Each structure stands twice: as C-alpha cells, then as structure tokens.
C-alpha cells in the first residue's frame, strides 16, 4: 500500500491536516516562538547572567537531581509493582491496580498538601522519622518524595503492557535449558522490558523536572537549598523580571525537548526490537 494510493482512497486529509497545523500553531508554536524571541532579544551576556546565576544553578541542580532520584526510585520499585500486578493474583490486586492512576488524576496541589501533612514533623509518617533524625518535609528529600508520588503511574503504566506481552514459553525454554530463575529474570525478562522501562523512566523524569504544584508545598522553598527551577520562574515573574524568567524557562524548555527526543528515540528502538523479534 503506497502513500498515494492511501491518500486517494480515504478522504479528509487536507481538512484534518490543515486544522491540526492551525491549532498546533496557535496553541504550541506561536507561544514557543514568543518565548524564544523574548530570550533571544536580551543578548547573550544578559541571558547568561540570568540563566546561570548561583541561585539559578542551585535550583537546576536541585530540580534535576531530585527528578533523577525520584525517577530511579520509581524505575526500581515501579518494576516490582508492575510485576506483582501482572503476574500474581492476591486479594486487593484490582484495587491497587486502580489506585496507581490516582497521582495522575489528583490535583497536584492536593497531593502536595497531603504529602506535606504526613511527612511533616507532627505528621503520620514524619512523627516516626523524626526520632531518627530524618527530616522529610521542607528538605530536598521531601521534593524527592513528592516527585516519586507524581511519577509512579508513568513507570507502572508503561511497564504493565510490556510485562503482560512477555511470552511465558520463552521463560520456560530458558528454564528447561537449565537457567535458574534469577538468570531468567536477568537475561530473558529484563532485556525484553528494558525499552519500556527506559521510556517510563524518561516520562517520570520529564514530569518530575516540570512538576510544580505538589513540590512547592513540601519543599519549603528556601533559595539555594530547596527552591526548584519552576518556582524560580514564578518568583522572577512576580518581581517583574520577565526577561530573567524567560531565560530560565528557555533552559528548561531545551531540556524538555531533549528529553522528548530521547523518549521518542527509545520508543522507536523498542518498536524495532519488537519487529525484529517477530
């Protein structure tokens, strides 16, 4: 089936493509052009000063570090959660399965408030951590907790279909050839789900870098210590430093774009593996 043949048979390409391009331009492209024009208009030196001052650098480090840590936690435990939900049958499985989506559906401010309330020194969990000298709320650790909460559905939901698609017969073959269960997991299962795992990791990371609503409550928002980049943009905006806010936003935007290209590359890689396997 060639492209031209398809185009002849099915109607509506011009209409839908035109509307899509129009809508995309209005909603996404023109706004992004405005941002870049704004940042480009301020000159390299001013841009560098705004986007690389010590306070901003500290916020980048915190944002990316916390998002990386949270995505790594989610990749490890999310794999276990997805595995348990796909492979095992136990009471409450369906309930847990349904609840995994909730961090996504919950207003981010609500999750931030709830996490702050339970991880603060007098909260349900914070109360038991305090004697050990572990502070969660209003420290970088709190930000990691909030981002872990936010990112969990992405890893679990990307992994579940991949795990469900796994052929049991391949595992059986490996076992019958003398592989131990650990070897089967490491050599057969893990390589097969690796693209999905990486995609979930990248999605959780992208979401964590941009997250705002839940983090501001639990972070404490102290400059240089627990101030994330998104908050810094708003702080600059409130001081009417629009150019400075744009500079930080452009850096964040560039990182988001890179993340997205990486995700799409991974998915293409996963698709090729899948086709090669057939």
CB of 264 to other proteins, least distance (A): 6
What secondary structure does DSSP assign to the chain, as a single string? --HHHHHHHS--HHHHHHHHHHHHIIIIIHHHHHHHHHHHTT-HHHHHHHHSSHHHHHHHHHHHHHHHHHHHHHHHHHHHHHHHHHH---TTHHHHHHHTTHHHHS-HHHHHHHHHHHHSTTSTTHHHHGGGT---TTSHHHHHHHHHHHHHHHHHHHHHHHHHH--HHHHHHHHHTT--HHHHIIIIIHHHHHHHHHHHHHHHHHHHHH--TTHHHHH---TTTS--HHHHHHHHHHTT-HHHHHHHHHHHHHHHHHHHHHHHHHHHHHHHHHHHH-
CB of 58 to other proteins, least distance (A): 13
CB of 189 to other proteins, least distance (A): 10
CB of 162 to other proteins, least distance (A): 14
Q: Which of 141, 245, 266, 270 binds other proteins (CB under 8 A)?
A: 245
CB of 42 to other proteins, least distance (A): 12
By CB under 8 A, tell whether 129 contacts other proteins. no
Question: Residue count at the site for other proteins (CB under 8 A)?
Answer: 104
Q: Which of 56, 60, 108, 198 binds other proteins (CB under 8 A)?
A: 108
Q: Count other Cβ atoms within 10 Å, centred on residue 133.
A: 6
Footprint of other proteins on 158-217 (CB under 8 A) = 168, 171-172, 175-176, 181, 184, 206, 209-213, 216-217
CB of 72 to other proteins, least distance (A): 14
Tokens representing residue 190 in the block: 């893990």
Q: Which of 40, 52, 55, 109 binds other proteins (CB under 8 A)?
A: 109
Q: Which of 113, 130, 194, 269 binds other proteins (CB under 8 A)?
A: 113
Q: Which of 260, 272, 273, 274 binds other proteins (CB under 8 A)?
A: 260
Q: Which of 42, 68, 72, 106 binds other proteins (CB under 8 A)?
A: 106
Q: Which of 165, 222, 272, 273 binds other proteins (CB under 8 A)?
A: 222
CB of 41 to other proteins, least distance (A): 11
By CB under 8 A, tell whether 38 contacts other proteins. yes
CB of 252 to other proteins, least distance (A): 5
* Residue 192 φ/ψ, nearest 5 degrees: -70, -35
Per-residue contact string for residues 56-95; x = within reach of other proteins by CB under 8 A: ---------------------x--xx-xxx--x-x-----
Sequence length of the chain is: 278
By CB under 8 A, tell whether 134 contacts other proteins. no
Which are the contacts of 147, defined by CB distance < 8 A and separation ≥ 6? 66, 67, 69, 70, 71, 204, 208, 211, 214, 215
HEC profile of 117-134: HHHCCCCCCHHHHHHHCC
Footprint of other proteins on 10-29 (CB under 8 A) = 10-13, 15-17, 19-20, 23-24, 27-29
């Amino acid at each position: 089936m060639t492209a031209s043949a398809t185009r002849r048979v099915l109607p509506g390409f011009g209409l839908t493509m035109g509307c899509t391009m129009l809508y995309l331009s209005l909603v996404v492209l023109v706004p992004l052009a405005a941002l870049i024009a704004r940042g480009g208009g301020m000159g390299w030196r001013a841009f560098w000063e705004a986007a690389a001052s010590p306070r901003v650098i500290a916020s980048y480090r915190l944002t990316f570090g916390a998002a990386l840590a949270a995505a790594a936690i989610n990749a490890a435990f999310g794999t276990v959660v997805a595995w348990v939900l796909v492979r095992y049958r136990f009471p409450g499985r369906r309930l847990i399965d349904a609840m995994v989506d909730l961090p996504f559906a919950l207003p981010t401010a609500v999750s931030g408030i709830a996490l702050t309330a339970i991880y603060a020194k007098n909260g349900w969990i914070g109360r038991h951590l305090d004697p050990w000298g572990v502070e969660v709320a209003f420290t970088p650790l709190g930000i990691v907790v909030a981002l872990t909460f936010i990112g969990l559905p992405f890893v679990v939901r990307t992994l579940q279909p991949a795990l469900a698609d796994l052929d049991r017969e391949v595992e059986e073959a490996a076992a019958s050839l003398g592989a131990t269960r650990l070897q089967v997991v490491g050599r057969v299962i893990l390589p097969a789900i690796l693209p999905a795992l990486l995609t979930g990791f990248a999605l959780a990371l992208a979401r964590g870098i941009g997250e705002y609503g839940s983090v501001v409550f639990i972070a404490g928002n102290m400059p240089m210590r627990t101030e994330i980049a998104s908050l810094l943009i708003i702080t600059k905006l409130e001081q009417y430093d629009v150019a400075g806010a744009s500079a930080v936003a452009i850096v964040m935007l560039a990182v988001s774009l890179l993340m997205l290209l990486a995700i799409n590359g991974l998915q293409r890689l996963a698709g090729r593996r899948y086709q090669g396997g057939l």
